[in-house]
């Protein structure tokens, strides 16, 4: 949520910033609703003060004794009339504040100054790291995973339908090894390990920015009487992590708070599949380790760089060829001011695919979730929140398999995973001989 005061003070500045996302916003309605709300609020508060005064007088007269009975009766009916006016203004206040809130909820975050304007096409590649593996006739990850007996796509679809798969044997080991590697690295860096609930409440969805705008992207398993989501399946650990400190005032000394979480991520992906996104590149459920920080406002830019570097370190540790992009404003998710994508090279499709997205929300999520800290003057001030995948494994496994495949059909497993997986995986048919 944006700061309403900023919009009141300088709507043109906000409008210009949002234009970079290629959306045109007119604040006319918002500002006029806001003005009505405040006028009504003043009248309402005045009436409340009046009633309070009358009630106080009644209280005093009652103590004085029976003699004042008639006077009390007069005051009582006066107060009753005021009460009716209060009720009217309260219901008006409710309507106006709901209208104002829903206009405010629809506004995305302001892109940072250094974020390029425009849509996906305006994304900037910042750097390309490592060498493209030199492969003669590369197999794609589906052929590799099936040939090596790592993933069972057919039976996966039988169990969970389209967009589901089963990791089997060494495949499951490898997937878990990636997770272990990430966990180990984040623990080393002093991040706190979190395993969140997979069923989240509507409040958590609102705080992270899922609701009300992106409700159709997630699996809602329970709705309240108004048909609003009350329980939904975690679409990313970020949604859970934001809400850890929802409605809290943190002490300045305990910032930054650094967390990481593992959870499966459940997504409807209603956009549908692109034909090249076969195998485990896109599904309704995938594994991800997510990094998250709550920082003081002045520290969030440095924290953003730190988390990007951590994501890249994981990629380098795996020996993968990847690139880093700065997303254009239109491609940056609504809650974020700036996002870096780390994209792994997938040889079979000749493209780089996102395996990590590292974003700074600044105070946008914190304002929705009312996450504050004791600022310099001891007054509560909003924290900044940042999140970044570290990393999404289900999409990484294809990169690992394809980039490390050998001429004999085997795959060399990166050394950092050897504690939990074999160093080389050979095709099922030939494995019996060794």
Residue ranges that bind RNA, judged by CB under 7 A: 38, 41-42, 44-46, 48-49, 51-52, 54-55, 58-59, 62, 75-76, 79-80, 83, 94, 249, 372, 379-380
341/352 Cα distance (integer angstroms): 10
Smallest distance, Å, CB 187 to RNA?
26
334/18 Cα distance (integer angstroms): 10
Helix (H) or strand (E) holding 97: helix 69-105
Smallest distance, Å, CB 176 to RNA?
20
Smallest distance, Å, CB 372 to RNA?
6
Tokens linked to 333: 């998710």
Q: Give SS3 for 52.
A: helix
Contact call for residues 164 and 283 (beta carbons, < 8 A) = yes
Distance set, CA 298 to CA 188, 282, 301, 307 (Å): 25, 36, 7, 16
| For RNA, the closer CB: 55 or 143 | 55
Smallest distance, Å, CB 46 to RNA?
7
| For RNA, the closer CB: 75 or 353 | 75
Q: What residues contact residue 12 under an 8 Å CB cut-off, 6+ apart? A: none
Smallest distance, Å, CB 305 to RNA?
29
| For RNA, the closer CB: 35 or 313 | 35
| For RNA, the closer CB: 67 or 275 | 67
Please state, as a whole number, how many other Cβ atoms lie within 10 Å of the Cβ of residue 145.
Answer: 27
Smallest distance, Å, CB 97 to RNA?
9
| For RNA, the closer CB: 76 or 155 | 76
Smallest distance, Å, CB 143 to RNA?
37
Burial 240-251 (b: 16+ CB within 10 A, else e): bbbbbbbeeebe
| For RNA, the closer CB: 59 or 430 | 59
Angle (CA) 204 206 209, round 5°:
110
DSSP secondary structure code for residue 346 in this structure? E
141/421 Cα distance (integer angstroms): 18
Q: What residues contact residue 315 under an 8 Å CB cut-off, 6+ apart? A: 129, 322, 342, 344, 355, 356, 391
| For RNA, the closer CB: 84 or 313 | 84
| For RNA, the closer CB: 60 or 351 | 60
Tokens linked to 328: 């254009």
112/360 Cα distance (integer angstroms): 10
| For RNA, the closer CB: 85 or 278 | 85
110/15 Cα distance (integer angstroms): 9
DSSP secondary structure code for residue 405 in this structure? B
| For RNA, the closer CB: 45 or 415 | 45
Smallest distance, Å, CB 53 to RNA?
7
Q: Give SS3 for 215.
A: helix
Smallest distance, Å, CB 59 to RNA?
4
Tokens linked to 415: 């050394």
Smallest distance, Å, CB 380 to RNA?
4
């Amino acid at each position: 949520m944006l700061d309403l005061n900023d919009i009141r003070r300088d709507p043109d500045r906000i409008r210009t910033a949002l234009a970079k996302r290629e959306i045109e916003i007119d604040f006319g309605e918002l500002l006029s609703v806001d003005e009505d709300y405040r006028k009504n609020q003043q009248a309402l508060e005045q009436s409340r003060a009046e009633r309070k005064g009358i009630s106080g007088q009644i209280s005093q007269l009652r103590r004085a004794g029976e003699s004042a009975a008639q006077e009390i009766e007069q005051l009582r009916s006066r107060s009753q009339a005021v009460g009716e006016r209060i009720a009217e203004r309260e219901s008006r206040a409710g309507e106006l504040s709901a209208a104002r809130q829903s206009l405010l909820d629809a506004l995305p975050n302001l892109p940072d100054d250094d974020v390029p304007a425009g849509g996906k096409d305006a994304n900037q590649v910042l750097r390309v790291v490592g060498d493209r593996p030199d492969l003669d006739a590369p197999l794609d990850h589906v052929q590799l995973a099936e040939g090596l007996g790592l993933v069972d796509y057919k039976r996966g679809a039988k169990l969970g339908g389209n967009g589901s798969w089963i990791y089997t044997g060494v495949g499951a080991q490898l997937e878990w090894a990636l997770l272990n590697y990430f966990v180990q690295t984040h623990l080393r860096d002093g991040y706190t390990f979190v395993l969140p609930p997979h069923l989240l409440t509507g409040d958590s969805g609102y705080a992270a920015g899922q609701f009300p705008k992106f409700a159709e992207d997630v699996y809602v398993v329970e709705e309240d009487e108004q048909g609003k989501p009350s329980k939904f399946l975690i679409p990313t650990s970020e949604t859970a992590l934001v809400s850890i400190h929802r409605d809290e005032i943190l002490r300045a000394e305990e910032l930054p708070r650094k967390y990481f979480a593992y959870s499966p991520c459940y997504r409807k992906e209603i956009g549908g599949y692109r034909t090249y996104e076969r195998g485990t590149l896109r599904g309704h459920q995938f594994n991800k380790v997510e990094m998250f920080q709550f920082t003081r406002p002045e520290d969030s830019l440095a924290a953003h760089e730190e988390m990007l570097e951590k994501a890249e370190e994981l990629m380098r540790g795996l020996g993968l060829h990847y690139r880093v992009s700065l997303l254009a404003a239109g491609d940056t998710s609504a809650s974020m001011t700036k996002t870096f994508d780390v994209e792994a090279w997938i040889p079979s499709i000749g493209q780089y695919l996102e395996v990590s997205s590292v974003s700074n929300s600044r105070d946008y999520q914190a304002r929705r979730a009312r996450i504050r800290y004791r600022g310099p003057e001891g007054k509560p001030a909003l924290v900044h929140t940042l999140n970044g995948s570290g990393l999404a494994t289900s999409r990484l496994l294809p990169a690992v398999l394809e980039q490390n495949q050998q001429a004999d059909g085997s795959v060399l497993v990166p050394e950092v995973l050897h504690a939990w997986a074999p160093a080389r995986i050979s095709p099922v048919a030939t494995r019996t001989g060794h």
